Structure 1
Amino acid sequence: MPFTFKNRIALHYILATAALVAVVYGMVYGVVKNQVYAELDGSLRFEVAKHMRELVVEGGRMRFARKQEWQEREHREVQVNPVFIQVADLQGRATDRSPNLNSARLEFDPAADGHVPLNAQLRGAAIRQLQEPVLRNGRPVGYLLAAISSESARHVLQSLETVLLGSFPVVLLVLFGIARLLAGRSISPIAAITATTNRITQSNLAERIALPPRPDELHTLASAINQLLERMEKAVVREKQFTADASHELRTPLAVLKGTLEVLVRKPRSAAEYVENITLSVQEIDRLTHLVDQLLLLARFDSAPQVEHRQELPVLSSVHDVLHRRRAALEARRIRVDVQDADTPPIHSDPYLVDLILDNLLDNAVKYSPAGSTITVALDEAGARQRCTISDEGIGIRPEDLGRIFDPLYRSDALAHKEIGGTGLGLSIVARACALLGIELAVASTPGRGSTFTLLFPAG
């Protein structure tokens, strides 16, 4: 039989049960044994007390006042509840004894405690014996030895021992079978979970494990596996989508480059045409380089174990640095930037990543804002945390796109706004950098009225 999880549960259960049953059996045996010997000892003490009252001492010798006591049946016969009586002097020599002893003698023990019955043997049979000193005027003058047969008690205890020892393995085997059956029923959902997970491959990640009806540990396990499968399915879908989008984004500039170069080599061109086509090629190369740089940056975020180079950083200073770099684009489109600062203290973060986040968000705000509009950058405090809000008056984001704008290479309503350049990686980089720094990122948008991105920096 394989040592399965079901068998291990049953084995652990049976080991604990075996210890408990052994203790119970031991207690039962001990109680019965004590009760049996208590009855024997009670009878023995009764006989000693009765015969002690009949003893008289004459001339230094002890005898029974009523000799007819010896004629009682239990003193004459050995078969029916025999009571053996023996009188001994101080040296232990027998001076008188009951007829049923015949030539046998009760064993005298000078060191015996006169109040504690002992187990002994008489002609190969088990007896319970009590040896009491005979006192006269506070001084011992001899001993009275009384014994009764304990064969029936011994047979009772042996029978009980045989029953207990014989039933012990039977009880354990029965309990093991029951425990194994119950354990098998308890963990039977695991077999269903295993079968389902074995069927699931990359091609059918949508399949889920049926949840057990009871809200127990197996229900929690199945639910956790389903959540894992859901995350895996989403990751695979994102990977496929990312691969397709990346291939498309990379193929477009390469196709433009190839077409431009083919045009140039097809026949001689004028200097102006060469300049125009080479300029177009350089622009496509720049676009391709920017795309590759952003892809590498995303890959670096995925593999980065932790953020280093944290230091005290004024967010307002980072905002001004980014706006300075974007000044030409802002002036060309007459976009005004309103910076509102509530005298916020510095944060403790990575300057490069914070600059990267602000640069991408402001770049998006500039690209999607109409000429002559206003971009608002508000810095304030939210409890013990610093908050930065970037709002524009641009085209906005459709509600159905809000959940996907942070996916790599995803561009909301891109076909309707082909004039707006971009790779669809900026917000993905922002989301990864925020997760790395512990910054809470939120977005609210109304199509046609603009978008608001909120950064909530961690305290301290």
Structure 2
Amino acid sequence: MNTKSIYKQFYQKLILATSLFITTLSFIFYGYTKATIYEELKESLVSDAQLIYKISKSKDANKTNFNIITHTGITVDLVTIDNLSEISFETFKNGEDHYVELLYPFDIKSKKFIKIVKNINSSREMLTKIFNNLLFLSLGGLILIILYAFTVSKTLLRPILQINKKLSNMNENYLTQIQKDTLPIEFHPLADSINSLTNRIETYVKFKKELFVGAAHELKTPLAVMKLKNEVTLMKKREPEKYQDTLKLTIKQIDDMNKMIGSILDIGRAEGAQFEKPTEIDLVQYMQRKTNDYRMLSAQKKITITFYANVNYYNTLLQVTLLNQIIQNFVQNAIKFTPEEHTIAIRLEKQKDVTTITVTDEGIGIDESIDLFAPFKRVGNESGAGLGLFLAKNAADAMGAKLYLENRKDGKSGCVAKLMLYNNLVCKLS
């Protein structure tokens, strides 16, 4: 496969298109000029013939009447021609000279016509000079076009080469932002997309490393506790209750490890869900239905869950599995940290360019200085693997959405979890 560079393709096409344009324009100009000159010649001869006709009709036609036109290079005569009833205009060549001939009706009945012949060598020479000048200008223009094409090609491709050089030097250990200040405004959306992707890669690499180290630590700790407890228990004979306590501790640690392993497996399933095909749903109806499901989870703690939307329906195209992971994590955390007989509020607000889903609880709040979206970050002393928000963040990134966690600003205790869905290629808002 013979692959050409975009630089060569651009300047070649620019030269070809501009050259064709100039050539076509030159021929059009030359043709228009030629037609104008011949039209003026015809009008001039017709005017002369009309003058002769007028004078000859008022007097007897004689040689003197037909020689009133004394322009240089013009001969006038009265001729008889059959099979002609209207004005005739034609050009011809005699030797090295060029002529134009006009036959103007003088007396149709007697088939007499006024014949005017004019030498047009000067007009032909002028057209030749015009053609030569146009040819010279076209050749000069072609040279300028070639220089212009090379210059413009380099100028227009410079931002692409700059971005390409920046990307080619990147790897997972060296991720930098593309500076938009030196780029034309047309490349700003591309730079924003690349910078956003770079941030996602950087966050992904960082969190993956933390995930592997954290998983090893989280699994190693309960194993060490079980091993130590069992070794101590087996050092001497003990009462059956002591062995039961050790076995119960071992079972509890195994259950915690199973939860941890389940969360890690959820990460793998979530990465697979990133390739889920977006489907169209009524987001308001979907959130109403999920809120009813969440009320079953909150019933044990007598927590009231409310739902509010500023629109009655809203059709949108998104990945439902990923959305469910995010909302479910928000609500489960809210239920976990909200005291009994309190309230959780779920809100959906549709605006022009973004739709926001918030889950507001009445819990203990969060430490905003901690990145809770990193793996194995926990709030308070509640149990859990600390991977829920990490999973939610990955799902939001795959959807092209944004997640935010903050404390309530209305003076009450609690946390606000916010999901912002933007109108982009992945999360398409209708």
Q: Which residue of 1 aligns with 2:189?
A: 220
Q: CA deviation at 1:208?
A: 2.4
The Cα offsets for residues 67-89 of structure 1, whole Å up to 9 and x where unpaired, read as 9x59x998xxxxxx433344433
Which residue of structure 2 aligns with residue 152 of structure 1?
Answer: 122
Correspondent of 2:387 among 422, 425, 442: 425
In structure 2, the CA distance between the partners of 1:391 and 1:57, relative to structure 1 (3 Å rule), is: closer
Letter in 1 for 2:101: Q
Query: How far apart are residue 175 of structure 1 and its match?
Result: 1.5
Q: What are the superposed Cα offsets for residues 366-391 of structure 1, whole Å, 9 maximum, x if unpaired? A: 7xxxxxxx562245878899986432
Q: Which letter does structure 2 place at the counterpart of 1:319?
A: R
Aligned to 1:120: 92
- Seen in structure 2, the aligned counterparts of structure 1 residues 252 and 127 have a Cα distance that, compared at 3 Å, is same
Q: Which residue of 2 aligns with 1:21?
A: 22
Aligned residues: 392
Q: Which stretch of structure 1 is more off in the superposition, 284-293 or 258-267?
A: 258-267
SS at match of 2:106: strand
Per-residue deviation at 1:128?
0.4
Aligned match of 1:391 in 356, 362, 368? Answer: 362
| Aligned equivalent of 2:166 | 196
Instruction: Give 2:387's aligned amino acid.
Output: L
Deviates more, 1:192-201 or 1:181-190: 181-190
1:319 corresponds to which of 264, 278, 295: 295
The 1:387/1:375 distance shift into structure 2, 3 A limit, reads: farther
- How far apart are 1:35 and its partner, in Å? 3.9
Deviation for aligned residue 1:293: 1.4
Shift of the 379–142 alpha-carbon distance from structure 1 to 2, 3 Å rule, reads: closer
Question: Is residue 139 of structure 1 aligned with residue 109 of structure 2?
Answer: yes
Aligned mates of 1:317, 1:357 — CA distance in 2? 14
Q: Which amino acid aligns with 2:207?
A: R
Change (3 A) 1:177 1:212: farther
- Tell me the equivalent position of 1:407: 374
Q: Distance in 1 between the 2:144 and 2:248 partners? A: 89
Residue 216 of structure 1 deviates from its aligned partner by 1.2
Identity %: 19
2:214 aligned with 1:245, yes or no? yes
Offset of 1:257 from its aligned partner?
A: 3.3
Distance 1:286 1:141, change over 3 A: closer
**2:342 is paired with a residue of what secondary structure?**
strand
Counting only pairs closer than 5 Å after superposition, residues 163-178 of structure 1 correspond to structure 2 as 163-178=133-148
Within the candidate set 404, 407, 429, 1:444 is matched to 407
Give the Cα separation in 2 of the matches to 1:56 and 1:450: 116
Secondary structure at 1:126 match in 2: strand
Aligned-pair distance for 1:340?
4.6
Q: Is contact 1:264-1:274 (8 Å) kept?
A: yes
**d(CA) in 2 for partners of 1:38 and 1:344?**
80
Alignment of 1:308-387 (within 5 A): 313=289, 315=291, 318-324=294-300, 339-340=303-304, 358-365=331-338, 376-378=342-344
Matches within 5 A, 1:289-308: 289-304=258-273, 305=276
Contact 1:129 1:147 in 2 (8 A): yes
Contact conserved, 1:213 with 1:219, CA < 8 A, in 2?
no
> What amino acid does structure 2 have at the position aligned with 1:153?
S
**Structure 2 residues without counterparts, runs of 5 or longer:** 315-319, 351-355, 422-430
Q: CA RMSD in A?
A: 4.8
Distance in 2, matches of 1:210 and 1:439, equals 22
Q: Alpha-carbon deviation of 1:32?
A: 2.6
- How many angstroms apart in 1 are the aligned matches of 2:396 and 2:216? 27
Task: Write the distance in 1 (CA, Å) between the matches of 2:103 and 2:229.
Answer: 126
Cα drift, residue 358 of structure 1: 4.2
Partner of 2:155: 185
Distance 1:175 1:274, change over 3 A: same
What is the CA-CA distance between 1:23 and the residue it aligns to?
Answer: 4.7
User: Following the alignment from structure 1 to structure 2, what is the Cα–Cα distance between the partners of residues 35 and 267?
Assistant: 122
Which consecutive residues of structure 1, in runs of 5 or more, have no partner in the other structure? 75-80, 93-109, 325-336, 367-373
Whether 2:40 is the aligned partner of 1:64: answer no
Amino acid at match of 1:29: Y
Is 2:178–2:191's contact at 8 Å kept on the other side of the alignment?
A: yes
Q: Secondary structure at the match of 1:204?
A: coil
Quickly say closer, same or farther: Cα 1:427–1:200, change in 2 above 3 A.
closer
CA–CA separation in structure 2 for the residues paired with 1:14 and 1:378: 67
Corresponding residue for residue 353 of structure 2: none
Alpha-carbon distance in structure 1 between the residues aligned to 2:287 and 2:195: 41
Q: CA deviation at 1:222?
A: 2.6
Residue 285 of structure 1, CA deviation: 0.8
- 3-state SS in 1 of match to 2:361: strand
Sort the Cα spacing of 1:37 and 1:245 in 2 relative to 1 into closer, same or farther, 3 A.
same
- Residue of structure 2 equivalent to 1:330: none
Question: Which secondary structure does the structure 1 equivalent of 2:173 belong to?
Answer: helix
The SS at the match of 1:131 is strand
Cross-structure match for 2:247: 278
Give per-residue Cα distances to partners, 1:384-404, cap 9 Å, x unaligned: 999864323x4x432312xx2
- Following superposition, the deviation at residue 292 of structure 1 comes to 1.0
SS of residue in 1 equivalent to 2:343:
strand
SS in 2 for 1:202: coil
Q: Does 1:34 align with 2:35?
A: yes
The verdict on how the C-alpha distance between 1:339 and 1:365 changes in structure 2, with shifts beyond 3 A counting, is: closer
Shift in alpha-carbon separation, 1:217–1:270, aligned structure 2, 3 A: same
Write the letter of the residue equivalent to 2:122. S
Over 3 Å counting, the alpha-carbon distance change for 1:241 and 1:314 in structure 2 is: closer
What TM-score comes out, normalization by structure 1 length? 0.67
Q: How many Å apart are 1:268 and its aligned residue?
A: 6.2
CA distance in 2, matches of 1:23, 1:132: 36
Q: Is the 8 A contact 2:344 2:359 kept in 1?
A: yes
- Counterpart of 1:400 in structure 2: which amino acid? S
2 CA distance for matches of 1:115 and 1:146?
A: 11
Query: Counterparts of 2:394 and 2:263 in 1: how far apart (Å)?
Result: 12
The whole-number CA distance in structure 2 between the counterparts of 1:312 and 1:381 is: 10
